A = this chain, B = another copy of it.
Amino acid sequence: MTKTAAIIGGGVIGGGWAARFLLNGWDVRVCDPDPEAERKISEVLGNARRSLPGLCDAALPPEGRLSFVPHIGEAVEGADWVQESVPERLQIKLDVYARIQAVTGGEVIIGSSTSGFRPSQLAEGAAHPGAIMVCHPFNPVYLLPLVELVPTPASSDAQVATARETITGLGMYPLHLRKEIDAHVADRFLEAVWREALWLVKDGIATTEEIDNAIRYGFGIRWAQMGLFETYRVAGGEAGMKHFMAQFGPALKWPWTRLMDVPEFTDELVDLIAGQSDAQSGAHSIRDLERIRDNNLVAMMRALKAQDQGAGALINAHEARLRTGTVLAARSAEIDDPSQPVMTIHRAVPIDWTDYNGHMNEARYLDAFGMATDRFMELIGCDAGYIAAGGSYFTAETHIRHIDEVHAGARITVQTRVLAGGGKKMHLWHEMYEGDRLLATGEHFLLHVDLATRRSAPAGAAVDAALRRFAEAQAGLPRPEGAGAAIGGGR
């Protein structure tokens, strides 16, 4: 059954949550007094629709329904989750919780997007304190997976488990902190760096652009994949983490940061930083910068996905959950009617598959057909286990016909037919569609190989039988137009 999220406060963060829930199949009710909220959220949603669905190599569920409601009570009535992202003023938050719980009682969890307040501060005096917890996300909420989850002792294990499941179900990562602390964990680092950066600009050591370059050309890319401690573990080398710490411990006593000191936040400093930032980034509008950022994030997370590391490993885990119980059957035997083509791909076109003009690059058609082939191989039992045991199919020849263009975010499917198969050979025919529109055909000739000798060899008996089942059942289908044709033959 479709679940419903109530989003209380629809700014950048609330809008990001709305998009995250909607695109993961939840219905969403937004409550925000700002008359501009609907426009603002539709802009966030536009960004999310072009970037999030393609992050995975499996399709997200159908998008939920979005509505805007004027009263908190209406928003939260019957909701399965309430996410609060109102301004960072404690009294406002406490008032909002009281109005929510007057309707929901203690049944529904209220996740707070607060950056700084401890959950005990938020739950103090509440009718149902256990239902209130910190669920602190990171901008852009529709793309970044981190959520700091900080309950109080008033929350039951079941409530915490529900929160973890909800966050995980959205393709996010619940970082469950067992002790409360101001600003949780990540923002403490951000605050430390922010203070140091203010000093460096104020003292004329570096401009905002130089500081950004110092981060993104150096430790920023390191941290994106391993964080702090694992990075240092590698740097320490064979001598290990203790050696690394012994080496750098003494620096703690050296004057390497001014953080013992807080810079005074004068108008002059604000003007200096805002002016440098204009010089650095002013050529781009905020909308441009958002698209640049989202393109970068998608491209990097998909790069990590291919390595099954960092945030990319989280996407792979989410994808595995999405595939469970989808239209894509797990095994040949689960296909009711082997006489018809099989759907092997159902996904959105990711941003990193498109080129500067937004259409899918020619090589990505083969990425998609390659995935369709992999999926069909799984279907006949040539899966990870079979491959680990030393057998696989290698593509010997590919013939792609590009029929029509397709753009980032579009949902595509691939239907796969067996033209011939058995023994060493497998001859597949893929058709790629957006809806009913044929985008491309892929004809592929594969040879079964022995991975030890790298030479062709007959497939195992079970794989061979599963392949022949399709080949024989589909032998009666009319030959696809274009199959077996030579390049440019018909022109």
A352 at the B interface (CB under 8 A):
yes
Interfacial residues of chain A within 224-270, with CB under 8 A of chain B in the complex: 224-231, 233-238, 240-242, 245-246, 248-249, 251-257, 259-263, 265, 270
Query: How far in angstroms is the closest Cβ of chain B from A69?
Result: 24
List of B residues within 8 angstroms of A452 by Cβ:
none
Among listed A76-84, A307-315, A466-474, interface-contacting one:
A307-315
B292 touches A116 (CB 8 A): no
Contact with B along A200-229 (1 / 0, CB 8 A): 100111101111111111111111111111
A241 touches B277 (CB 8 A): yes
A491 to B447, CA, bound (A): 11
A177 to B394, CA, bound (A): 53
- The A contact surface, by secondary structure, is helix
B300 touches A257 (CB 8 A): no
A225 touches B300 (CB 8 A): yes
Interfacial residues of chain A within 337-359, with CB under 8 A of chain B in the complex: 352, 357
List of B residues within 8 angstroms of A188 by Cβ:
196, 200, 256-257
Say how many copies of this protein the assembly contains.
2
A56 at the B interface (CB under 8 A):
no
List of B residues within 8 angstroms of A194 by Cβ:
228, 248, 252
Q: Which of B177, B205, B240, B253 contacts A179 (CB 8 A)?
A: B205
Q: Which of B144, B191, B237 contacts A12 (CB 8 A)?
A: B237
Q: Which of B204, B281, B304, B488 contacts A427 (CB 8 A)?
A: B488
A159 at the B interface (CB under 8 A):
no
CB contact under 8 A between A224 and B223, given known A185-B206, A189-B196, A238-B286: yes
Contact with B along A387-412 (1 / 0, CB 8 A): 00000001111111110010000000
List of B residues within 8 angstroms of A462 by Cβ:
none
Q: Which of B205, B221, B254, B310 contacts A217 (CB 8 A)?
A: B310
Query: How far in angstroms is the closest Cβ of chain B from A351?
Result: 9
A128 at the B interface (CB under 8 A):
no
Contact with B along A360-392 (1 / 0, CB 8 A): 011111110010000000000000000000000
A197 at the B interface (CB under 8 A):
yes
Contact with B along A412-423 (1 / 0, CB 8 A): 000000000000
A273 at the B interface (CB under 8 A):
yes
Q: Which of B193, B367, B401 contacts A189 (CB 8 A)?
A: B193
A249 touches B265 (CB 8 A): yes
A454 at the B interface (CB under 8 A):
yes
Among listed A27-35, A101-109, A119-127, A479-487, interface-contacting one:
A479-487
B237 touches A195 (CB 8 A): no
A296 at the B interface (CB under 8 A):
yes
Could you name 30 residue pairs across A and B whose Cβ atoms are closer than 8 Å?
A12-B235, A144-B222, A145-B217, A145-B218, A186-B214, A188-B256, A208-B229, A213-B227, A216-B226, A216-B310, A220-B220, A220-B227, A221-B297, A226-B293, A230-B289, A241-B277, A245-B274, A253-B262, A259-B259, A260-B261, A296-B304, A299-B307, A306-B352, A362-B370, A397-B401, A398-B402, A425-B488, A444-B487, A445-B488, A486-B489
